[in-house]
A and B are shown apart, each in its own frame.
Chain A
Amino acid sequence: MDEPLNLVLFSGTDDKLQAAAVLTAGASAIGKPVNVFLQYWALDAFRRDRIGRDHGLAPEAGTEGRAHVDDLRHAGQVSWAETLRQAKDLGEVDIQACSLSMDLLDIDQADLDPLVDGVEGVTAFYLNAGQGQVVFI
């Protein structure tokens, strides 16, 4: 149980971020540390001024998928950002922004939601990942 779960988040759509948040929450609930590394559009979704916005869904969702996602939200499913906050509250969850993606988007840490703990390069991410699985979403 000591090896962390390492999630690389690339996609910035709400469905993929929700799936990632649920995986994070489940792992932290059973005491597994989680390292989250934010790249590209996932990082963009964590911008302080954008985190609460509608980030759309993956193309395969289509209109039917959109309706299902909306139904769950109206039934009271909390947002992925809130799920991540709860996961951090419960266990060991470290969320880092990829420094290269920070350069790409031309932002600094002050532009990011406080959910993000810091900025690091890919090597630091792998060093923290240890022998744990790396999952790309």
Chain B
Amino acid sequence: MTAVLEAKPAITRTVDARGSYCPGPLMELIRAIRESVVGDVITVLSSDKGSRIDIPKWIEKAGHRLVSLETLDGYDQIVVEKAR
């Protein structure tokens, strides 16, 4: 049961903001969050270094949930769940 609860949630939507500069990826994420419903899970792909720091901070402040942050080949993959 625990394993099921801790499983990675299904991605509702992916925002590919690679190539967009600060604060572009965050702006794209906010737009996607606004269009989503509570419980939706959004993946943001960003190649902007500042966004790696800013996006998790915004997620915390805005009251959403950071599911994961991974650095892949030249970009970051940030997964967030809309919590409110």
Interface, chain A (partner B; CB < 8 A):
22, 25-26, 29-30, 72, 75-78, 83, 86-87, 89-90
* Majority-rule SS of A interface residues: helix
Asked whether A72 and B21 contact (CB < 8 A) given A29-B58, A30-B61, the answer is yes
Contact of B31 among A22, A75, A83, A90 (CB under 8 A): A90
Q: Does B11 contact A (CB under 8 A)?
A: no
* Majority-rule SS of B interface residues: helix
Contact of A22 among B20, B22, B58, B61 (CB under 8 A): B22
- What's the Cα separation between A89 and B35 when bound, in Å? 13
- What's the Cα separation between A29 and B29 when bound, in Å? 10
CB <8 Å contact, B21 and A25: no
CB <8 Å contact, A22 and B19: no
- What's the Cα separation between A83 and B27 when bound, in Å? 10
CB <8 Å contact, A29 and B61: no
Asked whether A77 and B21 contact (CB < 8 A) given A29-B58, A30-B58, A30-B61, the answer is yes
CB <8 Å contact, A86 and B27: yes
- Taking CB atoms and an 8 Å cut-off, the chain B residues in 40-70 that contact chain A are 54, 58, 61
CB <8 Å contact, A78 and B24: yes
> B3-26 vs A: 1/0 string, CB under 8 Å?
000000000000000011111101
B83 to chain A: which residues have CB within 8 Å? none
CB <8 Å contact, A90 and B30: yes
CB <8 Å contact, A26 and B19: no
B31 to chain A: which residues have CB within 8 Å? 89-90
CB <8 Å contact, A76 and B30: no
Q: Quick one: which of B22, B23, B54, B61 has the most chain A CB within 10 A? A: B23
CB <8 Å contact, A76 and B20: yes
A25 to chain B: which residues have CB within 8 Å? 23, 27
Query: Beyond the given A26-B26, A29-B30, A89-B31, could you list 5 further A-B residue pairs with CB under 8 A, ordered by the A residue number?
Result: A25-B23, A26-B54, A72-B21, A76-B19, A76-B21
